Amino acid sequence: MKREQWASRFGFIMAAAGSAVGLGNIWKFPYLAGTQGGGAFLAVYLIIMATIGVALIMAEIGLGRAAKRNPVGAFSILGGKKWMVTGIIGVTTSFMILAFYSVVGGWTVAYIVKSIFGTLHVNEPDLLPGQFNDLVTSVGEPIFYHGVFMAMTAGIVLAGVADGIERSVKVLMPLLFALLLILVVRSVTLDGAWEGITFFLMPDWSQVNGPMISAALGQAFFSLSLGMGAMITYGSYLDKGANIPNASYWVVFLAAMVAVLGGLLVLPAVFAFGMDPAAGPGLTFITLPAVFGEMFGGYIFQIIFFVMLLIAALTSSISLLAIPVAYFAEEFGIRRSVSTTLVGLVIFAMGVPCSLAMGVWGDIKFFDMNIFDVTAYAVDNYTLPIGGILTSLFAGWVILERLGSELTNEGKLRFSAMPAFTWLMRIVAPAAVLWVMVSNLLG
Ligand code: TRP
């Protein structure tokens, strides 16, 4: 059977950037920057993206293309059975992330519908927190929208790598950039936006501290979809002639740029209307609608905003789903279409308790957290960091030579950053991630 491939390198870059650019960049990044001191957080985040981030994404794409397999198959082909566990952690993580990611994706679908019908109380901002709360704590509505979001995700993946994923990202990613630019221009030209712009762009170095660096590293990791084999999977569909280091620079650049634009969209608007930049997760669903309510043309900008958020979420969720789909198809010989349908249904089912945890099942607690939070916590603090440490140790110590020849296309390309890559993989990345993991656990 012939393995699928990306039809073009542009398509691959859009797909990988689509995986990276997601709710993490537009929903999480601005509120992290808002709570972690603005510009200094941005600076630390960018430095990590440009070093550890670039190196690890290259390593994952290279491993994928070298093995031409899903993460579990890739680690066992390249490193032997004992490394398989790294891939298994990745596949498990993809189930966990997609379960709660799809619930949040569903909220964005709900907010598009509400924006179009004008049923959000944008003119009575006091009611917005309650309205958001009503949505996420009720039973049927969020589960319905979670199902809609999962169905869209599975629909794209069902159509195949080139005909489904690539074809959709080639349209969706440029559209996302265009919508984002429109919104940023609107936000930074508001009266009073300047204060938000300087808060976000001017680093106040006194804000740099351990917890902040560890939040920035965690965010860089999450926002590049690292540590779980997403890029291994996408890299496995890449043709042998493609220049992996170059493609990696592009993906990191695009992901970092969207995070910057996300901050420039959210924070100036929040400052201009005198709202609290440290509002946390509610910033996107509560604060921004209030901002739109006050803004000229807010009705349209609000629809544009939630459509853009949905695109960002969808281009990430398809890559999350692509991981287990490839795994079950390749390791157990299940047809891709059957694998997609089954995995989609299982993840939909896993998302139901995550959604209910916001409301009626909120009292079911593990380690003092509800089901939604404990899933996100396990991923952020255990499975992603462990996956990242193992991947970089594997790249740096076990198959460095093989990987080096993959990154240079068997010596045909020059890759002058190889020494830096080597040290980042061998020492810097594992040590930094380990430090973050331990310091989070000691809290
Ligand atoms: N990068 C995604 C975001 O920023 C989240 C994410 C983490 C992800 N790991 C992933 C997406 C793996 C796809 C695949 O929202």
DSSP codes, 218-247? HHHHHHTTTTTTHHHHHHTTS-TTS-HHHH
What SS3 class is residue 192? coil
The segment with the largest mean pLDDT, out of 24-38, 52-66, 187-201, is 52-66
Residue 314 CB coordination number (10 Å): 22
- Local confidence band at 346 (pLDDT 50, 70, 90 cut-offs): very high
Q: Closest ligand 1 atom, CA of 222?
A: 7
Gap between the Cα atoms of 77 and 69, Å rounded = 9
pLDDT at 73: 96
Q: Which residues pair with 369 in a beta bridge?
A: 366
The segment with the largest mean pLDDT, out of 17-31, 107-121, 225-239, 282-296, is 225-239
Eight-state DSSP code of residue 207: G
CA 61–ligand 1 middle distance (angstroms): 15
CA 245–ligand 1 middle distance (angstroms): 20
Q: Is the pLDDT of residue 372 over 90?
A: no
Q: Closest ligand 1 atom, CA of 21?
A: 4
Gap between the Cα atoms of 243 and 392, Å rounded = 20
Phi, psi of 239 (to 5 degrees): -80, 155
What SS3 class is residue 352? helix
By alpha-carbon position, which residue is closest to atom 8 of ligand 1?
225
CA distances from 305 to 90, 119, 177, 225 (A): 31, 16, 12, 23
Q: Six-digit token pair at 133?
A: 């709360």
Q: Is the pLDDT of residue 65 over 90?
A: yes
By alpha-carbon position, which residue is closest to atom 10 of ligand 1?
225
CA 301–ligand 1 middle distance (angstroms): 25
- Local confidence band at 158 (pLDDT 50, 70, 90 cut-offs): very high
CA 232–ligand 1 middle distance (angstroms): 13
Q: How many helices (H) and strands (E) does the chain have?
A: 22, 0
Q: Where are the alpha helices (DSSP H) in 273-335?
A: 287-294, 298-332
Q: Closest ligand 1 atom, CA of 25?
A: 4
pLDDT at 298: 85
Burial of 411 per CB tally in 10 Å (0-12, 13-18, 19+) = exposed
By percentage, how much of the chain surpasses pLDDT 90? 64
Q: Is the pLDDT of residue 42 over 70?
A: yes
In the chain, the N- to C-terminal Cα span, in Å, equals: 50
By percentage, how much of the chain surpasses pLDDT 70? 99
By alpha-carbon position, which residue is closest to atom 7 of ligand 1?
225
Tell me the pLDDT of the chain averaged across its residues: 91
In sequence order, the 6+-apart residues with CB closer than 8 A to the CB of 41 are 32, 33, 207, 212, 215, 216
What SS3 class is residue 2? coil
CA 135–ligand 1 middle distance (angstroms): 24
- From 19, 252, 315, the mutation candidate for ligand 1 (largest count of ligand atoms within 8 A of CB) is 19
- Local confidence band at 281 (pLDDT 50, 70, 90 cut-offs): low
CA 177–ligand 1 middle distance (angstroms): 18
Eight-state DSSP code of residue 366: B
CA 119–ligand 1 middle distance (angstroms): 30
Mind listing the pLDDT tens digit for each residue in 406-438? Answer: 999 998 999 999 999 999 999 999 999 999 888
66-70 average pLDDT score: 95
Q: Closest ligand 1 atom, CA of 313?
A: 15
CA 243–ligand 1 middle distance (angstroms): 23
Q: Closest ligand 1 atom, CA of 27?
A: 15
Q: Closest ligand 1 atom, CA of 23?
A: 15
pLDDT at 442: 82
Question: Which amino acid is it at 217?
Answer: L
367-389 average pLDDT score: 86
Q: Is the pLDDT of residue 123 over 80?
A: no
CA nearest to 318, candidates 170, 116, 114, 123: 170
By alpha-carbon position, which residue is closest to atom 9 of ligand 1?
225
pLDDT at 341: 95
pLDDT at 318: 97
Gap between the Cα atoms of 195 and 269, Å rounded = 10
Q: Is the pLDDT of residue 202 over 70?
A: yes
Q: Six-digit token pair at 319?
A: 């890559």
Phi, psi of 238 (to 5 degrees): -90, 145
364-380 average pLDDT score: 84
- From 320, 380, 383, the mutation candidate for ligand 1 (largest count of ligand atoms within 8 A of CB) is 320
Residues with CB under 6 A from ligand 1: 19-20, 22-25, 97, 222-223, 225, 228, 230, 316, 319-320
Gap between the Cα atoms of 29 and 216, Å rounded = 9
Q: Is the pLDDT of residue 1 over 70?
A: no
Gap between the Cα atoms of 162 and 171, Å rounded = 13
Which is higher by pLDDT, 79 or 121? 79
Q: How many residues does the chain have?
A: 443
Which is higher by pLDDT, 116 or 288? 116
| Burial annotation 92-106 (CB, 10 A radius, 16+ → b, else e) | bbbbbbbbbbbbbbb
**What is 21-77 written as a DSSP string?**
SSHIIIIIHHHHHHHTTTHHHHHHHHHHIIIIIHHHHHHHHHHHHHHTS-HHHHHHH
By alpha-carbon position, which residue is closest to atom 6 of ligand 1?
225
CA distances from 345 to 15, 98, 154, 281 (A): 23, 12, 9, 28
CA 55–ligand 1 middle distance (angstroms): 17
Burial of 2 per CB tally in 10 Å (0-12, 13-18, 19+) = exposed
Sign of the C-alpha dihedral, residues 193, 194, 197, 200?
negative
Q: Is the pLDDT of residue 238 over 80?
A: yes
Q: Is the pLDDT of residue 377 over 90?
A: no
CA 24–ligand 1 middle distance (angstroms): 7
Mind listing the pLDDT tens digit for each residue in 124-147? Answer: 777 888 888 889 899 999 999 999
Tokens 């080139």 identify what position?
A: 162
Q: Six-digit token pair at 426?
A: 């061998």
45-71 average pLDDT score: 96
30-34, 304-308, 416-420: which range is least confident on average? 30-34
Q: Which residues pair with 366 in a beta bridge?
A: 369
CA 295–ligand 1 middle distance (angstroms): 31
Burial of 362 per CB tally in 10 Å (0-12, 13-18, 19+) = middle
For residue 155, how many C-alpha atoms fall within 13 Å in the half-sphere facing its CB? Answer: 8
- Local confidence band at 280 (pLDDT 50, 70, 90 cut-offs): low
362-390 average pLDDT score: 86
pLDDT at 357: 87
181-208 average pLDDT score: 89
